[in-house]
Chains A and B, each alone.
Chain A
């Protein structure tokens, strides 16, 4: 099993450009989510999904879109990149257990917006 795979690992964008961060998991997890990590701010939830066709907003959703057409994939789209979106992005997945299940994280994407 590859676990949670994120691509690309690094990306530099110009302000106003759009791009998609890819996330795929091969563990048949129902729950998938996207976090951004900024220095001193911990992990902040952007969007999440509890199953194919179902998505919802997290704490910091503005400027990002997601979709979940399959169980395996959960791409994150930046519509018009801004310098404030410079961050490290992590995708995570887990089973949808009653008491909560451990999250498996991808290796992250370091994004710089100039």
Chain B
């Protein structure tokens, strides 16, 4: 079955440093979604990427979808303590509305 691998599992950064999490799929995806889960909270949708090579920005967050639609990344510039949480990617294959989640990357920001 489809697998979505996400690395790293954890990332410690000093406030102000950049952060990147990577997602790789064993199969070609139709689209990929990103979610953020704050400690003790529930996952919240951030963005969906659909097109090959697509790049989207939300303030300090930059999301990329690979040319082959098998990988994606989330980059945060100049992290803040409010960025703390676990970031999940979730890939969908053609015709499916059932996303397969990666295991997530937990971001810890030290002030």
Contact = CB atoms under 8 A, between A and B. Distances in A.
Contacts of B30: 99-100
B109 to A, nearest CB: 20
Contacts of A94: 97
Contacts of A104: 45
Contact of B102 (A31, A42, A98, A101): A42
A100 B88 contact: no
A78 B107 CA distance: 33
Contacts of A74: none
A103 B31 contact: no
B98 A107 contact: no
A43 B88 contact: yes
Interface residues of A, number: 28
A98 B43 CA distance: 22
Contact of A106 (B35, B42, B101): B42
A33 interface: yes
B103 A42 contact: yes
Contacts of B43: 43, 90, 92, 103, 105
Interface in A71-111: 90, 92, 94, 96-108
Interface string A5-38: 0000000000000000000000000010101000
Interface string B45-76: 10010100000000000000000000000000
Given A40-B9, A90-B43, A96 B104 contact: no
Interface of A: 31, 33, 35, 40-45, 48, 50, 58, 90, 92, 94, 96-108
16 contacts: A31-B97, A40-B9, A40-B103, A42-B104, A43-B43, A43-B101, A48-B98, A90-B43, A92-B43, A94-B97, A96-B97, A100-B92, A101-B97, A102-B48, A103-B43, A105-B42
